[in-house]
Amino acid sequence: MKPLNPIVAACPPSGIRRFFDIAATMEGVISLGVGEPDYVTPWHVREAGIYALEQGYTTYTSNAGLPQLRQAIVSDLSQRYAVSFDFATECLITSGVSQGLDLVMRTLLDAGDEVIIPEPCYVAYGPCVTFAGGTPVYVPSSPTFELLIDEIERAITPRTKAILVSSPSNPTGAIQPASLLAELAELAVRHDLYLVSDEIYERLSYDAPHTCLASLPGARDRTVVLGGFSKAHAMTGWRVGYICAPAPILELAGRIHQYTMLCAPHVSQAAALEGLRSGESQVTEMVADYDRRRRVFVKGLNEIGLTCHEPQGAFYAFPSIRSTGLSSEAFAERLLEAERVAVVPGSVFGPSGEGHIRCSYATALPLLDEAVKRMGRFISALAT
């Protein structure tokens, strides 16, 4: 048999999946490994999906997605972040941010182009760049997970095409201060680079208001904003996201989408529209609940000696495990074996993730309390 695509074959399977698979074979595991809300999609949103089925909305939509949904998305972005996109030419509905990332990379990159990615970062970023024929160039962030603009600038070469950032961040929960994002935008203008901004966690910003990268001076015409419904609307399984970007970028992304996906699922788009039009109170409630869990969980981690920089957004804590002397991989494996708590080793998110573990606090408070208790017992046992 002839060899399969070597670029894909060289990309290892996701380190997160590996831990899920082990945890799934065990009983009594508390999983802090999943990056997914523990809420079911709000009932009125599910009802909108059911109604769409009843009405026979089982067809394709237009390639770009339901116009009403695109209108609602651009109007929401305009109201909350004072950034304006034309729904007809600058907004495309995708099957989640995952598909949006893939489309954008294939739209922007020529073979060998480089994309700078501050890390620790979401595990799909590097592979999406690689599959599009590009080269990911990882740049570490500060110990408090802020962008290091000078390091980013030093990594720029004549092949650099874009910088890919995400705030709030998976895995660290960090939110980049608006002033740093403004410096990033200024850097992109100076070096004529595109910015790709994964804002899937924008609604989950607890301490500081979210800054949409495209709203910053100079950024609008070179920034691709990726957003979606999976997290704040608890709609992971529906697969709805969007790309908002300048028309020339979106026109090409739409061309790939037209041939490879046709459109995002019709029923899911109808449900997402309901979520956006009438789901504000549920989103606010869920966000308030994540915030409560965040405060309790992070306090608990610090009390058992796992120093945790306060995460300001998303639903992840990224505590340091350096005090234990274990690698993040060994820590996660041994914690799972000894105490049945599943976390993700920080190393899967990039070299500077080593020395940390990622814990999702999208988990009920009693389970978070129990997880902290078990982790505390694990750490005490290591010390004896």
Handedness of CA 23, 287, 174, 304 (dihedral sign): negative
Which residue lies nearer to ligand PLP by CB, 33 or 134? 33
Give the shortest CB-239-to-ligand PLP separation in angstroms.
7
Binding mask 31-50 for ligand PLP (x = CB under 6 A): ----x---------------
Give the shortest CB-104-to-ligand PLP separation in angstroms.
12
Give the shortest CB-316-to-ligand PLP separation in angstroms.
9
Strand pairing category for 341-342 and 30-31: parallel
Residue 197 is a binding residue for ligand PLP (CB under 6 A): no
Element (H, E) at 344: strand 344-345
DSSP-derived letter for residue 240 is -
Which residue lies nearer to ligand PLP by CB, 41 or 324? 41
Residue 230 is a binding residue for ligand PLP (CB under 6 A): yes
Residue 168 is a binding residue for ligand PLP (CB under 6 A): no
Cα distance between residue 311 and residue 313, in whole Å: 6
Which listed residue (122, 145, 194, 318) binds ligand PLP by CB under 6 A?
A: 122
Residue 363 is a binding residue for ligand PLP (CB under 6 A): no
Which listed residue (97, 105, 336, 342) binds ligand PLP by CB under 6 A?
A: 97
Residue 269 is a binding residue for ligand PLP (CB under 6 A): no
Which listed residue (68, 84, 89, 236) binds ligand PLP by CB under 6 A?
A: 236
Stretch that binds ligand PLP, among 90-98, 147-155, 182-190, 319-327 (CB under 6 A): 90-98
Residue 197 DSSP SS3 = strand
Stretch that binds ligand PLP, among 5-13, 92-100, 150-158, 184-192 (CB under 6 A): 92-100
Which residue lies nearer to ligand PLP by CB, 242 or 378? 242
Residue 164 is a binding residue for ligand PLP (CB under 6 A): no
55: β partners: none
Give the shortest CB-168-to-ligand PLP separation in angstroms.
9
Strand order in the sheet with 135-140: 91-94, 241-244, 223-228, 194-198, 160-166, 114-119, 135-140
Distance, first Cα to last Cα, the chain? 54
Residue 241 is a binding residue for ligand PLP (CB under 6 A): yes
Strand pairing category for 160-166 and 114-119: parallel
Which listed residue (37, 42, 49, 96) binds ligand PLP by CB under 6 A?
A: 96
Burial string for 237-253 (b: 16+ CB within 10 Å, else e) reads ebbbbbbbbbeebbebb
Cα distance between residue 147 and residue 132, in whole Å: 25
Which residue lies nearer to ligand PLP by CB, 61 or 98? 98
Residue 120 is a binding residue for ligand PLP (CB under 6 A): no
Burial string for 32-60 (b: 16+ CB within 10 Å, else e) reads bbbbebbeebbeebbebbeebeeeebeee
Handedness of CA 72, 240, 252, 213 (dihedral sign): positive
Which residue lies nearer to ligand PLP by CB, 172 or 324? 172
Amino acid at 39: Y
Give the shortest CB-238-to-ligand PLP separation in angstroms.
9
Residue 98 is a binding residue for ligand PLP (CB under 6 A): yes
Q: How many residues bind ligand PLP (CB under 6 A)?
A: 13
Cα distance between residue 366 and residue 364, in whole Å: 6
Phi-psi region of 283 (alpha: psi -120 to 50; beta: other; left: phi over 0): alpha
Stretch that binds ligand PLP, among 2-10, 93-101, 278-286, 338-346 (CB under 6 A): 93-101
Give the shortest CB-10-to-ligand PLP separation in angstroms.
22
Stretch that binds ligand PLP, among 94-102, 112-120, 156-164, 328-336 (CB under 6 A): 94-102
**Residues in CB range of 181: below 8 A, 6 or more apart:** 147, 165, 167, 211, 213, 216
Q: Dihedral (C-alpha) 356, 164, 160, 87: value to the nearest 10 degrees?
A: 170
Q: 168: cis peptide before it, omega within 30°?
A: yes
Positions that interact with ligand PLP (CB under 6 A): 35, 96-98, 122, 166, 170, 198, 200, 228, 230, 236, 241
